[in-house]
Amino acid sequence: MQTAVNLWPLLGVAVIVAGFLLRAHPVLVVVAACGVTGLAAAMPVEAILASLGAAFVKTRNLPLILLLPLATIGLLERFGLRERAQAAIAKVKSATAGRLLIVYLFARETSAAAGLTSLGGHPNMVRPLVAPMAEAATETRYGSLPDALRHRIRAMSAATDNVGLFFGEDIFVAFGAIVLMQTILNAEGIEVNPLHIALWGIPTAVSAFIIHAWNLRRLDARIRREMTAGEKAA
């Protein structure tokens, strides 16, 4: 006889969504979500407060871990990281924004599939390295870029990181989402091997790579079309 799964604790997710839509303070939103989840799961108030306190003690060094890499990236940028990256990619005559981003997509997706999700990211890779290199590759071919096209290249750089991480980490067997899916399925009486879930993520990851790589090729075509039209108009 299967027992019913209590879905009321998922109200905490709704609290998080509503809190960020209302632009409330993130700490208050998270604490409120924890409270709602605990109450929906019929936890005593003392147990909820104890869980929050234990989580705080365990993660009190987390801000330091997050801020130190950002400070390092900031110092590298201040002393010419972006300029060095742009100068390096400008020497590669065959480089285009789309080709460069396809290479980064492959590296990001394969590293995430191996569990190395922290090797990329917007603040430590896209902003200081990937986006400037994509802009430099385009400027080497066509000269100065209009702001709209420059912003599009930056947006596609960020999107490439998102796609690579999102679909790559689904292949990693120890990824939290895979463990969550196995737990839910086991609660419903369905026995699933986490390795099988990870393996079935490979076709999706390959499809995502092909589709986004095609979009990056279209980006190159759009850049060429817009810059050529601008030259003719001038």
Tens digit of each residue's pLDDT (9 = 90 or more) over 94-152? 889 999 999 999 999 999 998 888 888 888 889 888 998 899 889 888 888 899 999 99
Least confident of 61-65, 81-85, 154-158, 201-205: 61-65
Mean pLDDT value across residues 147-168: 94
Q: Which pLDDT does position 33 carry in this prediction?
A: 86
Predicted TM-score (pTM) of the model is: 0.68
What's CA 133's distance to the chain center, in Å? 19
126, 226 Cβ separation under 8 angstroms: no
pLDDT, residue 208, reads 95
The pair of three-digit structure tokens given for residue 11, joined into one six-digit string? 């109200």
Q: What's the burial of 115, exposed, middle or buried (CB within 10 Å: 0-12/13-18/19+)? A: middle
Token pair 């871990």 is found at: 65
**SS3 letters across 2-37:** CCCCCCHHHHHHHHHHHHHHCCCCHHHHHHHHHHHH
150 vs 185, more confident: 150
pLDDT in tens, 202-232: 999 999 999 999 999 999 999 999 888 866 6
Say yes or no to pLDDT of 45 above 60: yes
Determine the average pLDDT of the residues in 177-191: 79
- What is the pLDDT confidence band of residue 1, given thresholds at 50, 70 and 90? very low
Residue 61 has pLDDT above 60, yes or no: no
Mean pLDDT across the chain, nearest whole number? 82
